[in-house]
């Protein structure tokens, strides 16, 4: 009888110990997850080389204008947690079009763009995320043909983008994305202003 009681006490003690250890492991995992979400948040800034394009298709005509630029983009944003952020962008061309198709030569042409975005983030691994950009953007194009005839384009619309980011360290990341700043039909032209961006960002 005494042996039976001792056996029951031993089993109960071991069971309680195993249950307590399991709870400890679960609580530690939860604490680590919460700590990760707290760390992966904050203000960030970035800079990118941008391949910027402005394509215009005249309605009821066959001529298509394609102007490509080298540009620089700046970004500033705030990451609330690993899954959502808000971001602002500003970009400007660094030179006149380096490739022109379908239009007479352009002597001088500049584009500036800006955008404000909600940024849903989809973690893929410890260092790699995919993301969307959903927001509103403005585009300003000014230029002059060799005969001194000028042209301008200043519009804003819904803007979107998609990209990926890879963490090099806890603070430094590299990113690549595609962004459409404008896609609409102003003044009898189907116009698209979009870009490919290759950059680096720093999270504080």
Task: Find out whether 179 and 133 touch, Cβ atoms under 8 Å.
Answer: yes
Q: What does the mean pLDDT of the chain come to?
A: 81
Q: Is the pLDDT of residue 153 over 80?
A: no
Task: Find out whether 189 and 56 touch, Cβ atoms under 8 Å.
Answer: yes
Task: Find out whether 195 and 178 touch, Cβ atoms under 8 Å.
Answer: yes
**Residue, of 161 and 4, whose pLDDT is higher:** 161
By CB neighbour count within 10 A (0-12 exposed, 13-18 middle, 19+ buried), where does 15 fall?
exposed
Residue 87: its pLDDT value, please?
98
Q: Is the pLDDT of residue 36 over 50?
A: no
Residue 194: its pLDDT value, please?
94
Instruction: Give the fold, CATH level 3, of 42-203.
Output: Porin (2.40.160)
Task: Name the band, by pLDDT with cuts 50, 70 and 90, for residue 17.
Answer: low
Task: Name the band, by pLDDT with cuts 50, 70 and 90, for residue 14.
Answer: low
**Residue, of 169 and 36, whose pLDDT is higher:** 169
Token pair recorded at residue 83: 């899954």
- 40-80 tens-digit pLDDT: 899 999 999 999 988 877 666 555 678 889 999 999 999 99
pTM of the model: 0.75
Report the pLDDT averaged over residues 99-122.
82
Residue 67: its pLDDT value, please?
82
């Amino acid at each position: 009888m005494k042996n039976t009681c001792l056996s029951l006490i031993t089993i109960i003690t071991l069971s309680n110990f195993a249950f307590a250890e399991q709870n400890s492991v679960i609580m530690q995992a939860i604490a680590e997850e919460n700590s990760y979400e707290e760390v992966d948040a904050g203000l960030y800034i970035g800079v990118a080389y941008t391949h910027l394009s402005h394509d215009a298709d005249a309605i009821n005509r066959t001529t298509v204008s394609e102007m490509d630029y080298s540009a620089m983009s700046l970004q500033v944003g705030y990451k609330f947690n690993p899954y959502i952020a808000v971001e602002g962008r500003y970009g400007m061309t660094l030179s006149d079009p380096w490739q022109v198709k379908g239009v007479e030569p352009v002597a001088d042409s500049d584009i500036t763009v800006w955008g404000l975005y909600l940024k849903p983030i989809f973690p893929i691994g410890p260092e790699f995320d995919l993301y969307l950009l959903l927001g509103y953007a403005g585009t300003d194009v000014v230029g002059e043909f060799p005969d001194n005839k000028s042209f301008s384009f200043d519009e804003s619309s819904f803007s979107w983008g998609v990209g990926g980011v890879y963490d090099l360290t806890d603070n430094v990341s590299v990113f690549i994305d595609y962004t459409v700043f404008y896609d609409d039909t102003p003044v009898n032209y189907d116009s698209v202003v979009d870009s490919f961006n290759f950059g680096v960002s720093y999270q504080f």
